[in-house]
Every structure is written in C-alpha cells, then in structure tokens.
C-alpha cells in the first residue's frame, strides 16, 4: 500500500472566520469581519519568514480561486519588474 505525499510547500490556504478583529483583504483592500474568508500563509524566498495574508469571500469563493488570483497577481508583478529592468528582464549584467 502506498500513500500520497501531501503538498507541504507554501502557500497554505485555510478557511478563516474572524469574530473579534477586522482583517484586510489583499485583493480588494476592504476590511471584513464576521464573514467567511481565507487565510494564506506564504514563505518569503529570501529569508524564509512566513507571511500571513487574508482574502475575503467576495474576492475568492474557494481555495482554487485564491490560488488563481495569487498566480495572476504574481504574473503581473513579474511582468512589471521585467518592463522596468534595464537588462531586459534577465537581471544579469553582461561584461565585455
């Protein structure tokens, strides 16, 4: 018998229902409380520190929607960096 290996790589997405405090959605920048949402725990690649973000239920209805929106946001961010890069997006300086 073989078991399936769980995906232990970030981001981890879990269901979240805040009762006391207000939390800001990372996509629409609106605060929410006493409604369902998603808690996204990610890891920075540089220093390995975990970051906790929140997504409201209006922006994403399921964990798959959260992953799609995160990927879209990351793709836009990477395209902006490549546009602004003086080296054509490679980040490598050619020495002659």
**Digits of tens for pLDDT over the chain (96 positions)?**
677 766 666 678 889 899 999 999 999 999 999 999 999 888 666 666 778 889 999 999 998 898 899 888 888 777 776 666 565 555 554 455
Q: CA-to-CA distance for 66 and 55, rounded, in angstroms?
A: 8
Residue range of the domain that includes 54: 12-84
pLDDT for the residue 28: 92
Sign of the Cα torsion 75, 81, 84, 90 reads negative
Q: 96 lies in a domain? A: no
pLDDT for the residue 59: 92
In the chain, the number of structural domains is: 1
Q: 79 lies in a domain? A: yes
pLDDT for the residue 73: 84
Which CATH number does the domain housing residue 43 bear? 3.30.1740
What is the strand order of the sheet 37-43 is part of? Answer: 12-16, 37-43, 50-56
> In this structure, how many other beta carbons lie within 10 angstroms of the beta carbon of residue 93?
7
Q: 7 lies in a domain? A: no
Q: 68 lies in a domain? A: yes
Q: 46 lies in a domain? A: yes
pLDDT for the residue 39: 92
Global confidence as pTM: 0.68
Q: 3 lies in a domain? A: no
């Amino acid at each position: 018998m073989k078991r399936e290996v769980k995906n232990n790589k970030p981001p981890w997405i879990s269901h979240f229902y805040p009762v006391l405090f207000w939390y800001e959605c990372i996509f629409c920048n609106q605060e929410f409380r006493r409604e369902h949402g998603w808690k996204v725990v990610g890891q920075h690649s540089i220093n390995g520190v975990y970051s906790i973000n929140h997504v409201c239920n209006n922006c994403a209805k399921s964990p798959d929607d959260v992953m799609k929106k995160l990927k879209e946001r990351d793709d836009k961010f990477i395209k902006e960096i490549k546009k602004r890069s003086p080296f054509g997006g490679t980040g490598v300086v050619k020495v002659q």
